[in-house]
Amino acid sequence: MRKTFSIISLGCPRNLVDSEHIISEYSRKGYVFKDGADRADTVIINTCGFIEDAKKESIDVILKVIDAKKAGDIKKIVVAGCLSERYSKELEKEFKDVDEFRGVLDPKTWFYNKSQVLKLTPRHFAYLKISEGCRNRCTYCIIPHIKGPYRSRDIESIIKEAKALLNKGVKEIVLVGQDNSLYGVDLYGRKRLVELLKKLGRISKDKWIRLLYCHPANIEKDVIKAIRDSKDICKYIDLPIEHISDGILKSMGRRIKRPDIVDLIAYIRKEIPNVAIRTSLIVGFPGEKDKDFQELLDLIKETKFERLGIFRYSREEGTPAYKYKGHISEKEKERRFNEAMLLQQSISRDINERFKGSILKVLIDEKSEDGYIGRSEYDAPEVDGVVYVKGKDLVVGDFYNVKIIDTYEYDLVGVTDVNRVGC
């Protein structure tokens, strides 16, 4: 009887791509993949170790799987990924019931992997990692230490994988990497993201290409124009700015100042009037004074980001910011987080109100009890809002024209007719 295995994938979409390749690796070894940790001989936990909350979640999952092993439900535990890469010695000492610890994947094992890879996403969308590692060296971030220097996949291998995904029925390809705006700089000696986007846009019709993770100091105007001019690239730009105070930006090592950020956002909105800008902000960074935080709140009010994620600063050993003076209490970080989130809620509600009465192209993700759940091009899977769609006999994984009839803080409600498929 063949051995079975399952995988628990934690953290970001980049980690999910790694998990898919771990599945491929074990399948080549003769293991049979089982969807569900309680039905497999071996359980692999692909951990995240980026910030404190992610580390706690990874530890909690490890403990639960160890309990399952002690109960006799599983035979072997493998802990992989970022947490294992970062704390291998500590984990080996603490968790004697884990059979194997392994770190992050070497890109050589998956950049050019020609074997079939089982996708962990629904059939109609997929994450495609175009690079690994990072060269930005933000002072709060441990990723360069865990993942290593920036390495790009070659264009040909990316196009080949994208074609294979589309041939299997994928309707949305989400490009991921630590900083996609740097794509190609290491491999070709210059940035080639524009060229990659244009080639991806030509390989098929009736699809979405979504671009995530572009550092504001590195993104080129030609990338924005490529998004503007393509019918296939979602009018969605993920641009994590992290802060707006020049003093904090400098301490963070972000290599960009407030005027440049403001000008970049204005340029994007001028070139792509219907764009959705997603950004992330960090509150409670060491040395963040009341005036710095107020500057951040003012930015949120004035800019009215369509999508916004806010994070409390996580003090990570091994990063330059760990040794900074002026660390802020967890209580104060929480207060600032709540104030910023409350402000964004009202902004999000107002932004969604603008969609009422309009018709949006929506990709149906799943069937619900009283209809369907989908997304517009302005919403990335798993991180943004959804569109609750009222309709009959819709097909999950297909596009529909949906008329928006109601709105919530983060989500929309719409109706469609099956005769109005596509755009």
Q: Helix 330-353 vs helix 290-303: angle between axes, to the nearest 10 degrees?
A: 10
Euclidean distance between CA atoms 268 and 262, whole angstroms = 10
61 dihedral zone (left: phi>0; alpha: psi -120 to 50; beta): alpha
Q: Which two tokens stand for residue 128?
A: 């495609």
Q: Return all residues near 367 (Cβ < 8 A) that are at least 6 apart.
A: 373, 394, 396
Q: Where are the domains of the chain?
A: 4-104, 117-353, 359-415
The correct CATH number of 4-104 out of 3.40.50.12160, 3.90.380.10, 3.40.50.720, 3.40.50.300 is 3.40.50.12160
Beta bridge mates, 238? 278
Q: What is the pLDDT of residue 35?
A: 82
Q: What is the CA radius of gyration of the chain?
A: 22
CB contact at 8 A, 6 and 44? yes
Q: Give average pLDDT by consecutive 10-residue segment, the chain, 423 residues.
A: 90 93 90 82 94 95 95 94 94 95 80 67 95 95 94 94 94 96 97 97 92 96 97 96 98 98 98 96 98 98 97 96 97 98 96 96 95 97 96 94 96 81 47
Euclidean distance between CA atoms 343 and 324, whole angstroms = 29
CA distances from 40 to 44, 60, 74, 213, 395 (A): 10, 19, 6, 35, 32
Q: Which two tokens stand for residue 51?
A: 């910030």
Report pLDDT digits (tens) over 342-362.
999 999 999 999 999 999 999
Q: Which two tokens stand for residue 117?
A: 């890879």
Query: Which residue from 187, 199, 186 is spatially nearest to 233, judged by alpha carbons?
Result: 199
Report pLDDT digits (tens) over 107-152.
766 565 555 568 899 999 999 999 999 999 999 999 999 999 999 9
**Three-point CA angle 173, 179, 182, nearest 5°:** 100
DSSP string, 198-223: HHHHHS-SS-EEEE----TTT--HHH
- Which DSSP letter does residue 278 get? E
Strands 387-390 and 371-375: antiparallel
> 359-415 in CATH: which number?
2.40.50.140
Q: What share of the chain is helix, strand, coil (3-state, %, to 5)?
A: 35, 20, 40
CATH topology of domain 117-353: pyruvate-formate lyase- activating enzyme (3.80.30)
